[in-house]
Amino acid sequence: MKLCPVILCGGAGSRLWPLSRRLYPKQFMDMGGHTLFGDTLKRLGGLPELTPPLVICNREQRFLAAAQMQEQGLEPAGRVILEPEGRNTAPAIAVAAQAALERNRGEDALLLALPSDHVIREVGAFARAVAQAAACAGQGRLVTFGVEPDGPETGYGYIQRGEALSTGFAVRRFVEKPRREAAEAMLAGGGHYWNSGMFLFRASLFLSELRRYAPDMFRAAADAWEERAEEHDFIWLGEAFAACPADSIDYAVMEKTSLAAMVPLDAGWSDLGSWSAVYDAAAKDAAANALVGDVLAENVSGSYLHSSGRLVAALGVRDMVVVETGDAVLVAGKEHSQEVKTLVARLSRQARSEKDTHLRVFRPWGWYETLALGERFQVKRIMVKSGASLSLQLHHQRAEHWVVVSGVGRVTVGDKLLELHADQSTYIPLGVRHRLANAGPLPLEIIEIQSGSYLGEDDIVRFEDTYGRC
């Protein structure tokens, strides 16, 4: 039976704010030339007999997911399933199971469900564990991967091992995120593992167990799949999905089924679930500091200092997390980094944009970055990929000036068509239809100055769009 990987990309990753944000979350973040989602796809290369992976994410992130799949040489068309809104892992996997069965024309498939935002250092060990789990699942089990704990971590759920099976172990019990003392007891007692959130099982078996233990969820997921639309290379789940109860696969199925099994995973795993986990996974200097970017540290120890651009100068601090971005700076005690979520919740109550978006906003055609926002002007830096073009659009309340910094632009203004090279500029009066395209082989970089009484992103009328955004 072939193995069908299912990559779960729905997470918002607010625990790594301000680097990770709703519209550009942890799994898609640039970690220095690579992303966790990209690493997850690459890791599959070590596995035999795979069907191409299915990717499940929310609609806002579809272009990020597609672009990063292409970077890994994977064709996204027909493989990216879009949730109208997040419903946790169980419904997402249920939909993926429907998709896998349909793709195999009713024949069964083994689903390998993987979070998209974890680190696994040893690919060989990972592949061996997957092979064991596949054998175990072949014998009618729902298999979870248990990580050998290296400390009394209170941020993870635990799995207690049961009797040995021909491969892997039965599961005696699942344990909620424990208190410190309980975690230490489990560590001392042995036979307990961290719940990694990775699973392997037959699609048909998962669905039958889901139907037994969570029939509403089974039904809603099946309907959402039935009602799906396939447009612009994406699979858009029906609105029935929004009516689906939200729950994790652990609560909805694994803790209830009698068929749960566990395969140990010892492969340098981390879920990077907090800044202190990022610190633990990072390379450190002699003072046990992990310094990223333009950082100056004087009399500093045990700290994670991350600059995205501006100089970060730290003096006489220990066990700190400092993360600098274009519009927000986090300064936290390392042992408090689990509480970043509460900070983000406060931002959310204040409806602040720093919660969701970065200064740099990714679009299917490239990205833009706000350099300055004033009383009645905004300056943006815009990068258009080779061959890409923005929509044909107009603005009712703002004029725009474009100056080409590098590359070659093909610019439509009203009924004129211009080719603009470096140092050349053009002016788009308000109310005039315009379009920007990259006419060259290199990235097109321009500076846009918007001037007008209202500068909101919503003052846009689209007439044509390559990416189906009209």
- Judged by beta carbon, residue 244 or residue 328, the one nearer its own copies is 328
Q: Which stretch binds its own copies (CB under 8 A): 8-16, 191-199, 216-224, 418-426?
A: 418-426
Lay out the site mask for its own copies across 309-348 (x = CB under 8 A, - = otherwise): -xxxxxxxx--x-x-x-xxxxxxxx-xxx-xx-xx--xx-
- Judged by beta carbon, residue 17 or residue 206, the one nearer its own copies is 17
Tell me the closest approach of the beta carbon of residue 324 to its own copies, in angstroms.
6
Ordered DSSP codes for 13-26 = -GGGTTTSBTTB-G
Residue 447 in contact with its own copies, rule: CB under 8 A: yes
Measured in degrees and rounded to the nearest 5, phi and psi for residue 322 equal -125, 125
What separation in angstroms does the CA of 425 have from each of 181, 235, 405, 440, 446? Answer: 66, 40, 9, 17, 9
- Judged by beta carbon, residue 39 or residue 445, the one nearer its own copies is 445
- Judged by beta carbon, residue 34 or residue 341, the one nearer its own copies is 341
Rounded Cα–Cα distance for residues 255 and 171 (Å): 9
Residue 432 in contact with its own copies, rule: CB under 8 A: no
Ordered DSSP codes for 67-97 = HHHHHTT---TTTEEEESS---HHHHHHHHH
For its own copies, the binding residue among 406, 433, 440, 443 (CB under 8 A) is: 406
Rounded Cα–Cα distance for residues 259 and 339 (Å): 36
Sign of CA dihedral 100, 101, 105, 110: positive
CB 19 within 8 A of CB 36: no
For its own copies, the binding residue among 451, 459, 466, 467 (CB under 8 A) is: 451
- Judged by beta carbon, residue 17 or residue 169, the one nearer its own copies is 17
Q: How far is CA 368 from the centre of its chain?
A: 20
Pairing mode of beta strands 54-58, 3-8: parallel
Lay out the site mask for its own copies across 54-73 (x = CB under 8 A, - = otherwise): --------------------
Q: Which residues of 260-295 are buried (b: 16+ CB within 10 A; e: fewer)?
A: bbbbbbebebbbbbbbbbbbbeeeeeeeebbbbeeb
For its own copies, the binding residue among 135, 242, 403, 439 (CB under 8 A) is: 403
- Judged by beta carbon, residue 57 or residue 449, the one nearer its own copies is 449
Q: Count residues contacting its own copies (CB under 8 A)?
A: 58
Q: Which residues bind its own copies (CB under 8 A)?
A: 18, 296, 298-299, 305, 307, 310-317, 320, 322, 324, 326-333, 335-337, 339-340, 342-343, 346-347, 352, 354, 371-372, 374-377, 379, 381, 399, 401, 403, 405-406, 422-423, 425, 427, 445, 447, 449, 451-452
